[in-house]
Amino acid sequence: AQSVTQLDSHVSVSEGTPVLLRCNYSSSYSPSLFWYVQHPNKGLQLLLKYTSAATLVKGINGFEAEFKKSETSFHLTKPSAHMSDAAEYFCVASKTSYDKVIFGPGTSLSVIP
């Protein structure tokens, strides 16, 4: 069975410091992986996606993620946090196709001024 784990339910960082949000997946095949961000009472916005091309993926707003097959991980990073980055982040894996996906439980990011 395919699953997505986000190890931290909540992460708090100071503004200007690096961000690391962890994601691990389990799958019998190489999945497509996505990171989405959700601000309060809003829908989800795609930050970046991995679809078996380059393992280091760059996204919007300075975020990037690296796909490590040996570790079954797809951690999200950003060199310097901004206040506007405070939101909920979801790691998502594709199931059978790109359409039906598996959501991780989410990580709430707080940015301290």
Partner 1 sequence: GAVVSQHPSWVICKSGTSVKIECRSLDFQATTMFWYRQFPKQSLMLMATSNEGSKATYEQGVEKDKFLINHASLTLSTLTVTSAHPEDSSFYICSAGGTILGTGELFFGEGSRLTVL
Name the site residues for partner 1 (rule: CB under 8 A).
Answer: 32, 34, 36, 41-46, 49, 51, 90, 94, 97-101, 103-106, 108
CA dist 79 and 99 (Å) reads: 31
Query: Is the backbone of residue 97 left (phi > 0), alpha (psi -120 to 50) or beta?
Result: beta
Measured from the CB atom, is 49 or 78 closer to partner 1?
Answer: 49
Token pair for 93: 């894996």
Measured from the CB atom, is 30 or 80 closer to partner 1?
Answer: 30
Cβ at position 74, least distance to partner 1 in Å: 14
Cβ at position 94, least distance to partner 1 in Å: 7
- Beta strands (DSSP E) in the chain are 3-5, 10-14, 19-21, 24-26, 33-38, 44-50, 56-58, 64-68, 73-78, 87-94, 101-103, 107-112
Measured from the CB atom, is 9 or 70 closer to partner 1?
Answer: 9
Cβ at position 97, least distance to partner 1 in Å: 6
Cβ at position 13, least distance to partner 1 in Å: 19
Measured from the CB atom, is 39 or 68 closer to partner 1?
Answer: 39
**Bridge partner list, 75:** 66
